Chains A and B, each alone.
Chain A
Amino acid sequence: MRHSINISFLQKNWWKILSLLLLIYTVVGGFLMEVPRLFILNETIRNLYFHVCMWFGMMILFTISFVYSIRYLRGFNLRNDIFAHQFAAVGSFFGILGYATGTIWANYTWVTDQSQSLGSILKEPKLIGAAIALLIYGAYFVLRGSFTDMDKKARISAVYNIFAFAMLFPSIWIIPRLVGSLHPGAPGSESGNPALNFKDIDSRLRMVFYPAVIGWTLLGVWIATLKIRLQLIRDKTLINE
């Protein structure tokens, strides 16, 4: 009996264990494996496995949220609204972590080593774009909180979520590339398509980077499912009362 429970647990939750294993590999491989020796970046290139993964995880979580918003609008099932809300919440959290880690990284590689002034950092298009994207998602939660009617809240916030997702990629990817930026990937830095382009990223980095993205994203999905399940329990008791 107990044995069968364990097997069904593994069948249902294998991806949680995969996430743990991938992140253990990320920490061990990320700190100990060889990385390209580059000026300015030095050892901070290892932030690729942490800072960049936060943003990739955020984009994947926002994409999942977007899909659930569309599914909500197709059938008006409140379950889908809860899914969209919680995935957007964890995605925003990942975005804030990405922003916070980016400030630390920029402080050493842009301010100290390239002696950029604070003014040029504040004008940085990538930072402004990322801030706009996060603020748009912040407004999503404000919008949700301002409704008392559950159906109206779900419907309008689903439509808003689609708009927020449509703004996400232009503000964090396209605009910074059009105007030039200190951040890798902009015309000024001549680094092409960092982390995404197969020819651009060093194979030693790729060995850890892709597993790291999957690991961090799965952790985000896990936390989101926990929040969804709690919300479902909460709503169930609301309905019963």
Chain B
Amino acid sequence: MNKRFSFLVFRFLFLVCGILINAAAFAQDAKPEMADMMRGNGKIYVVVAVCLTILIGLFIYVFIVDRKITRLEKGKD
């Protein structure tokens, strides 16, 4: 009787552990996907460099237009 009871408890614990492990594994799978690889191999810096080039280029352009208008305002075409 006692032996059979302990066997049942063992089976029950085994089941609970199985569910928990399964749940933990599932939780690990369900992490939001991020671009960690881009970070790992450094490719994200390429994107940053490209965007910075465009941004600084745009600012240089706006700055040149600004200077041209200043010259127009002073009446020196």
Residue numbers of A with Cβ under 8 A of B are 16, 20, 23-24, 27-28, 31-32, 37-39, 41-43, 219, 222-223, 226, 229-230, 233
Interface of B is mostly: helix
Contact A32 B44 (CB under 8 A): yes
Contact A31 B31 (CB under 8 A): no
Known contacts A23-B55, A42-B32; A233 and B72 CB within 8 A of each other: yes
Contact B52 A42 (CB under 8 A): no
Q: 16 additional contacts, CB 8 Å, given A16-B63, A16-B66, A31-B47?
A: A23-B55, A23-B59, A24-B52, A27-B51, A27-B55, A37-B32, A38-B32, A39-B32, A41-B32, A42-B32, A42-B33, A42-B35, A226-B69, A230-B69, A230-B72, A233-B73
Residue numbers in A under 8 Å from B33 (CB-CB): 42
Alpha-carbon separation in the docked complex, A229 to B72 (Å): 10
Residue numbers in A under 8 Å from B35 (CB-CB): 42-43
Residue numbers in A under 8 Å from B34 (CB-CB): 37, 42-43
Residue numbers in B under 8 Å from A222 (CB-CB): 62, 66
Contact B48 A31 (CB under 8 A): yes
Known contacts A31-B47, A222-B62, A230-B69; A24 and B55 CB within 8 A of each other: yes
Residue numbers in A under 8 Å from B69 (CB-CB): 226, 229-230, 233
Q: Which of A20, A32, A219, A226 contacts B66 (CB 8 A)?
A: A226
Instruction: Tell me the smallest distance from the CB of A138 to a CB of chain B, in Å.
Output: 25
Residue numbers in A under 8 Å from B65 (CB-CB): 226
Residue numbers in A under 8 Å from B72 (CB-CB): 230, 233
Residue numbers in A under 8 Å from B62 (CB-CB): 219, 222-223, 226
Which B22-44 residues have C-beta < 8 A from chain A?
31-35, 44
A23 nearest in chain B by CB position? B55
Residue numbers in B under 8 Å from A229 (CB-CB): 69, 73
Contact B51 A31 (CB under 8 A): yes
Alpha-carbon separation in the docked complex, A38 to B31 (Å): 8
B31 nearest in chain A by CB position? A37
Residue numbers in B under 8 Å from A16 (CB-CB): 63, 66
Residue numbers in B under 8 Å from A27 (CB-CB): 48, 51-52, 55
Residue numbers in B under 8 Å from A223 (CB-CB): 62
B59 nearest in chain A by CB position? A20
Alpha-carbon separation in the docked complex, A24 to B35 (Å): 21
Instruction: Tell me the smallest distance from the CB of A41 to a CB of chain B, in Å.
Output: 8
Alpha-carbon separation in the docked complex, A222 to B64 (Å): 13
A232 nearest in chain B by CB position? B73
Residue numbers in B under 8 Å from A41 (CB-CB): 32
Alpha-carbon separation in the docked complex, A16 to B55 (Å): 13
Instruction: Tell me the smallest distance from the CB of A34 to a CB of chain B, in Å.
Output: 10
Counting chain A CB atoms within 10 Å of each CB, the highest count among B47, B51, B63 belongs to B51
A29 nearest in chain B by CB position? B48
Contact A28 B73 (CB under 8 A): no
Alpha-carbon separation in the docked complex, A31 to B44 (Å): 8
